[in-house]
Amino acid sequence: MKKTATYILPIVAGILLLFIPLLRDFHFESAMLAGTIGCFWAGLSAASHKTKNDLAAPIHILGCIYLAALPLLIHAIAVSCFTFDGAAFWLLTPVPSVLLGTAVGRLYRKLWIPFPKTFTVLTLLFCAAGILLWEFWNFPQVYFYNHVWGVWPGPIYDESVSISSSYLYFRSITFLWIILLWVLPSWSSSLKNKSILAFTLISLCISYLNLSEMGVISPEEDVQTRLGSSHSTQHFDLYYDAQYFSPKEVEYWALKHEWYFEEVATQLDLAWPEDRKIESYLYPHPWVKKNLVGAKYTSYVPIWLRQDQLHIAKQQLGDVLEHELVHVLSKQFGNTLFNGSWSIGLIEGVAESVAGNASRQSTLHQIVASETTYPSAKDLKSALSLSGFYADAGAVSYTTAGSFVRYLLSEYPVSYFKQAYSGADIENHYPVSFEELVSGWHQQLENTVIDSVDKVVSELIFAQRSLFEKQCPHTVSTELRLWDDYHYHLADRDTAKAYETIDQLYRHNPVNNLVHAEWARTQLRQGAALQVAQSFGSQDTLLTSKLLQADAFMLLDDYTRADSVLQSIAPRLQASDARNFKYSLPMRADSMLWHAHVDRRYKEQLPGHIQFQQLNLPNKILSLAKAAELNRDSLLIQYSKLLLSENLNADWFDIYEQQIDQLIFLGHSELAREYINRLEDMELRARFRERLQKMKQWHQFMIG
C-alpha cells in the first residue's frame, strides 16, 4: 500500500498543478517548483543518519518528481503546448537541484555536524534566497540563475523563453559544486580525491571569474563596456552603442531625457538633488537588451537599486521614455525597502497617468469609459494589488490604474498621492474613503465624451489576455519564431538576412496573408515586382493584397493592369472604415501620383521642389513623413515650408506631430510654432489635444 502511494501521490500532485495557471505548463515555472521541492527534500533525506545509500534517495526523489511531471507532459502534448525548451528546463532544473540538495545534506551528515537537517535547510535557504537577494540589490539585470531553483529568465511580459548558453554554463557550475561537496568529507583519504578536489576548486574559480562574460550576471560596468559609448547631460549619463546611434540621435534623445525630466518633476512637485545623476542604458534593439539584462520587449527601471537607471531599446524610446522616467523620479517618495509602492497598480498607474501613452487616439479616461461597466471599489482594490494587477493583461492593468491615478492627481493635491504611494495606503491619506474616490472617478468617466474610435481602442485593449489566461504561454510556433528572427535582422540592420528569413517564412506558410503581404513588400523593395504580381491570384481578395499587386504592376510600368486591379477594389476602398485605406485611391489617382507613391514607398526616392508641388495632399504628407523617417532634414524643412499653403487635416495628425517634433529639434522654432498654432485652431480629438500640448511644452523647453 505504501509503495502504491509512492507512485500515486506524485501523479495526483501533478494533476492538481493542471488547475494552476503557468504551473500547469510543462516549462520553466513548473520545473522551478519541482527543482526547489526536490532540492530541500533531497537535502533533508541525505542529512538523515538513517541513510545508507547516498544515491538511492535522490533517484527516488527524481522518480517522484518526474511522475508529477507526467500529467503536465501529457497535457502539453494533448493541447499542442509541448516545446523542447520546456523539456530541457525539466531536465536541467530538477536533476542538478536534487543532486545539490543531496550533496549538502550528505556533507553535514558525513562531517557529523550537530543538527545536520537544520544546517542543510539553512544552507539551501541561503542559496535559494540569500544569493538571489544579493544579486537583486546589486545588479540591474532582471534574470537570475540559482543553484536551488534553476532560472528566472526575465519579465513575465516577455513570453518567449528558451534555454540559453548562460544557463548551460551555470548548471555546469552547479555540478562542480556537487562534486566538491561530495568529495570534501573524504578529500584527504586518497590521491584521487585530492586531485578531484583540486580540479574542482580550480574549475570553480575560473568559472566564477567568467560569470559576467558568460552572461550569468550583468553588472553595470559590464553593460556599459558592452554598449561602448557614453554621453552626459545635467541629470543623465547615457550609455549607448555608437554603431546604432548617430551623433544627431544621441543629441536628440539627450534633450528628450532632460525635457521629460523637467516635465515629470514639475507634475509630481519634486526637488531633485543637484549631485544625483540617472544612468540611461539605450540598447540597439530588444534582442541586445534581452542578451545583456534579460528583458526583451519590456522596458524597465530597477527601482530597487540605489543608482537610478533606465533600460530601453532604441525602437521603444519614443513610446516609453517618459513612462520609465516617472518610475525613476517616483523613487523619491517610494518606500525604504525597494523605493516603490506596495501596490504595483500605483507604481504603474502614476507612470501611465503622467505619460498617458496607452493609445495615440484615445485618452486614458476615454478608453476606460468606453467599457460597459466600470471596476467597482472592490475590483479596483484588487487590481491595485500585486496578484490582481498581473491577473489581467498588461495593457488592461496599466490603463485602468492609469485612469484612476490620473483622477487622483487632477482632483486632489499631488502631496496626498505621494504620501499614500509608498505604503499603498490611499484610505488614510485622502480626505474621503476609497469607495468615495472610486465613485468620483466613475463620475468623471461618465462625463467623458467618447465616440466609436474610443470604443474600438478600448475593445482592442480590454480583449487582450494575460499570460495566466493563455493556453500555451510559452509556446512559440515556427511562424512566430521566423517572424521574430525577421524583425531581429531588420533591427540589426542586416537586410540580406532579413529578406532571406521572410522568404523562408513565406515558403513555410504562403497562405498567411500577413506573411504574404510583408514578403511582397520586401520583394518590391528589391525590385522583384514581376514575382510579386504573379504571386497574387484570384483567391487573394484582401485590400492589402490587391493594393500590393497593383503597385507591383505600376513598378513594371504597366499602368493599364495596375489601374484595372485598383478599380476592381475601388468600391470596397471607398466603403472601408479603416484609416489606412482612406487615401489609397487619392495616392494613386493618376500615373504621375502613383509613380511618386511607389518610388517613395519601395525605392525611398523623394520628390524635388517642383515635383513636390505637383503632388496632391496625401502624397505630399507621406513624402514629408518619409523625409523625417530617412533623416532627410533639408527636405523635411523644404516640404514643411511648402505645405504651409495647404489646409491641415486632422487625419494626418501623427505626421504633423512628427514634423513639429523634428522642426523644433532642428532649430526651426518659428516654423514649428506656425503648425502648432494652426493645429490649435482645428477641431481635434481629446487625445490629439493632449499630444499637441506636449509639443507646445517641447517647443517651450527648446527655446528656453
For position 218, what pLDDT does the model report? 96
For position 696, what pLDDT does the model report? 98
Element (H, E) at 478: helix 478-491
Query: Which of 189-198, 390-399, 467-476, 660-669: highest mean pLDDT?
Result: 660-669
Class of domain 221-469: mainly alpha
Q: Report residue 538's pLDDT band, with 50, 70 and 90 as the boundaries.
A: confident
Q: Report residue 395's pLDDT band, with 50, 70 and 90 as the boundaries.
A: low
Residue 205 near residue 126 (C-beta atoms within 8 A): no
Q: Any idea which of 478-482, 569-573, 653-657, 682-686 has the lowest mean pLDDT? A: 478-482
**Tens digits of per-residue pLDDT, 118-174?**
999 999 999 999 999 999 999 999 999 999 999 999 886 566 788 999 999 999 999
Task: In whole angstroms, give the CA distance from residue 564 to residue 570.
Answer: 10
For position 474, what pLDDT does the model report? 78
CA atoms within 13 A on the CB side of 596: 27
pTM: 0.93
Residue 50 near residue 119 (C-beta atoms within 8 A): no
For position 611, what pLDDT does the model report? 96
Residue 660 near residue 641 (C-beta atoms within 8 A): no
The C-alpha angle with vertex 395 and arms to 390 and 400, in degrees rounded to 5, equals 80
pLDDT at 465 over 60: no
330's CB contacts (< 8 A; 6+ apart) are 268, 303, 340, 347, 350, 351, 421
Average pLDDT over residues 299-303: 96
pLDDT at 104 over 70: yes
For position 469, what pLDDT does the model report? 56
pLDDT at 615 over 60: yes
pLDDT at 1 over 90: no
Residue 409 near residue 417 (C-beta atoms within 8 A): yes
Task: In whole angstroms, give the CA distance from residue 294 to residue 685.
Answer: 38
Phi, psi of 691 (to 5 degrees): -65, -35
Q: Which three cell numbers stand for residue 43?
A: 537535502
Q: Which three cell numbers stand for residue 700?
A: 517651450
For position 539, what pLDDT does the model report? 84
Task: In whole angstroms, give the CA distance from residue 426 to residue 403.
Answer: 16
Residue 26 near residue 90 (C-beta atoms within 8 A): yes
Burial status of residue 185 (CB atoms within 10 A of its CB: 0-12, 13-18, 19 or more): middle
Task: In whole angstroms, give the CA distance from residue 509 to residue 512.
Answer: 6
For position 393, what pLDDT does the model report? 47
pLDDT at 64 over 90: yes
Average pLDDT over residues 352-361: 93
**Tens digits of per-residue pLDDT, 256-269?**
999 999 999 999 99
For position 381, what pLDDT does the model report? 85
463's CB contacts (< 8 A; 6+ apart) are none
Identity of the amino acid at 336? T
Specify the DSSP class assigned to residue 468: G
Task: In whole angstroms, give the CA distance from residue 457 to residue 37.
Answer: 44
Best CA proximity match to 102, nearest among 149, 50, 59, 68: 59
Phi, psi of 433 (to 5 degrees): -70, 165
**Tens digits of per-residue pLDDT, 240-291?**
999 999 999 999 999 999 999 999 999 999 999 988 999 999 999 999 999 9
For position 3, what pLDDT does the model report? 67
Best CA proximity match to 43, nearest among 100, 112, 110, 82: 100
Query: Which of 151-160, 532-541, 687-696: highest mean pLDDT?
Result: 687-696
The C-alpha angle with vertex 194 and arms to 191 and 199, in degrees rounded to 5, equals 125
- The full set of domain ranges for the chain reads 2-211, 221-469, 510-605, 609-704
Give me the percent of the chain exceeding a pLDDT of 70: 95
Average pLDDT over residues 545-555: 97
The C-alpha angle with vertex 370 and arms to 364 and 372, in degrees rounded to 5, equals 135
Distance from the first to the final alpha carbon of the chain? 83
pLDDT at 604 over 60: yes
Residue 295: other Cβ atoms inside 10 A = 23
Residue 528 near residue 556 (C-beta atoms within 8 A): no
Mean pLDDT of the chain: 93
pLDDT at 559 over 70: yes
pLDDT at 391 over 70: no
Q: Which three cell numbers stand for residue 285?
A: 534593439
- CA distances to 306, 418, 582 from 568, rounded to whole Å, are 63, 60, 16
Best CA proximity match to 335, nearest among 321, 347, 323, 348: 347
3-state secondary structure of 212: coil
For position 700, what pLDDT does the model report? 97
Task: In whole angstroms, give the CA distance from residue 421 to residue 330.
Answer: 9
Q: Which three cell numbers stand for residue 603?
A: 525605392
142's CB contacts (< 8 A; 6+ apart) are 154, 155, 293, 294, 295, 298, 300, 302
Instruction: Put residue 356 in one of left, alpha, beta given phi > 0 → left and psi -120 to 50 → alpha.
Output: left
Q: Report residue 457's pLDDT band, with 50, 70 and 90 as the boundaries.
A: confident
Q: Any idea which of 21-30, 38-47, 91-100 has the lowest mean pLDDT? A: 21-30
Q: Report residue 85's pLDDT band, with 50, 70 and 90 as the boundaries.
A: very high
Specify the DSSP class assigned to residue 217: -
- CA distances to 202, 236, 486, 604 from 209, rounded to whole Å, are 11, 31, 35, 49
Phi, psi of 463 (to 5 degrees): -85, -10
Best CA proximity match to 595, nearest among 529, 551, 643: 551
Residue 331 near residue 272 (C-beta atoms within 8 A): no
